[in-house]
Amino acid sequence: MVQKGYGGTSISDIAQVVGMTKAGLYHHIAGKQDLLFQILQHAHDEMERLVIEPAKQVGDPERRLIEITRRHVRGILDGGLEFTLLYRERHHLDDAQQETIALRTRAYLALVGATLQELAMEGKLRDLDIQIGTIHLLKTISGIADWYPMFSEIDEDHLVEQTVNFGLSAILKR
Amino acid sequence: MVQKGYGGTSISDIAQVVGMTKAGLYHHIAGKQDLLFQILQHAHDEMERLVIEPAKQVGDPERRLIEITRRHVRGILDGGLEFTLLYRERHHLDDAQQETIALRTRAYLALVGATLQELAMEGKLRDLDIQIGTIHLLKTISGIADWYPMFSEIDEDHLVEQTVNFGLSAILKR
DNA sequence: AAAAACCTACCGATCGTTCGGAAATCTTGT
DNA sequence: ACAAGATTTCCGAACGATCGGTAGGTTTTT
């Protein structure tokens, strides 16, 4: 579904991959739409487990921002955050489900936004719009999932550090 | 198709929007797959017309980079580059079509990459991986098309300038 | 024996695509 | 200026295939 999209992936396709028939699979899921919802919930669970919770342990905002970037990129490269790519298929959900997902997404955005706010009060921030800076930073990171498969010759550690440098240079006075 | 994806958009949907039956529509297109290909070609045509060609007129690499960023963001916000979002549906094309699109995409990447190379020779560039920096910059820009509809209260001119600042700060010594 | 997991077979709906013909438009001869 | 013919545009109807989903029964596990 990550590769072919929600509409391009049939229940039969999924059943075949997990070694079942379509009817057998339906014993475990409530429907295609609900399956997408569960996957997106799982994606956010992994996001919180791998990125948000560890980052919240870091008191210093600059170190926290680095921690967020490192862990987020690392999670993408390790495949642990693979399903976050399906966020772009959220319009297939009903309104209540979309709101649930939107809330969790906004929570992550708020964490990064608050971190930038702290950095601003410490005078470390460039003269930039915090909201836009936050979104741009997160888009730079999450965008890696889109293009990295096509540039897999790039060393993973190198990409992590380059991304940290890119993001921090864009945001902090240096 | 931009909103609902390739698989989620039927020929009937398209025909209805353009005020025809699908049989009538089929007089103008060769098939759904070829329609996507034509749209992506058109997207690249617009990209060249609105961004690449004007940018190539600029000799100074720093001013050229600013020109690319401004025009690309402007094109997204004005809707002129709307169809570039369908680049993510390129896997629905056959191999030959994918290669054609990949070539044009690489050409744009090469333009930005060469500009960063010039800036490096002028000593204006940060210590960064040019390839990764190029991709991150372009992802920051093109990513706007993903999230701007949800933050439409942001002033367009403000967003353009903030994006230029974000990108240049990430890349240039300042 | 109870429950969970799974399958065969099928449902109505919709998918992309095609075909023959009807309108509508354009070109041409006079 | 206008009718005749040619072309383009569009539609109704249908095609085989596949879609998401279900009913009922069989196998496997507890």
Q: Residue B174's pLDDT is what? A: 79
* Structural domains of chain A ordered from first start: 1-30 (no CATH), 31-171 (1.10.357.10)
A25 closest-nt by C1' vs CA: C6
Residue of B nearest to A7 (CA): B7
Whole-number Å distance between alpha carbons of A90 and B18:
26
B 18-57 near A (Cβ less than 8 A): none
In chain B, the percentage of residues whose pLDDT exceeds 90 is 98
The DSSP H or E segment spanning A163 is: helix A156-171
Whole-number Å distance between alpha carbons of B128 and A131:
25
Q: Mean pLDDT score of chain B, rounded to an integer? A: 97
pLDDT tens, A20-76?
Answer: 999 999 999 999 999 999 999 999 999 999 999 999 999 999 999 999 999 999 999
Segment B10-17 mean pLDDT: 96
B15 closest-nt by C1' vs CA: D10
Whole-number Å distance between alpha carbons of A46 and A41:
9
pLDDT tens, B128-157?
Answer: 999 999 999 999 999 999 999 999 999 999
B108 and A CB contact within 8 Å: no
Which of A9, A136, A147 lies at the smallest CB-CB distance from B135?
A: A147
Structure tokens at B168: 């240049």
pLDDT tens, A76-91?
Answer: 999 999 999 999 999 9
Q: Residue A156's pLDDT is what? A: 98
